[in-house]
Amino acid sequence: MRLDAKTLPTILREAIDHVANTGARVIIEMSDGQRVGLVPVEDLEFVQEIEDRMDNESADAAIAEGGLEIPWDIVKQEIDQES
């Protein structure tokens, strides 16, 4: 999801500016106890890179296991049936 910072409340824009200008991380606590974080884009990209590596390692391990190959159209059909 992408938002235009101009449409956000002032306090949130100030928090975003703080993250962008200092590289700090900001945690926002919701009234129901949930928390979200504002992080620099570099942090997000780093986490995404780690996730990609983990996905690739999992895929490599699955390929190394061997087994039957299932054509994509059959997999997609099964996924569509579950939805």
Per-residue pLDDT reduced to its tens digit, 33-55: 999 999 999 999 999 999 999 99
Residues of the domain holding 20: 7-39
- Residue owning tokens 């449409």: 7
Residue at 18 is within a domain: yes
Residue at 81 is within a domain: no
64 burial level (CB within 10 Å; 0-12, 13-18, 19+):
exposed
Single pTM value for the model: 0.65
Residue at 60 is within a domain: no
HSE toward the beta carbon, residue 56, CA cutoff 13 A: 6
> By percentage, how much of the chain surpasses pLDDT 70?
100
How many domains, in total, are found in the chain? 1
Residue at 29 is within a domain: yes
- Helix (H), strand (E) at residue 29: strand 26-29
Residue at 34 is within a domain: yes
Residue at 26 is within a domain: yes
Beta bridge partners of 35: 29
SS3 of residue 80 by DSSP: helix
Residue at 49 is within a domain: no
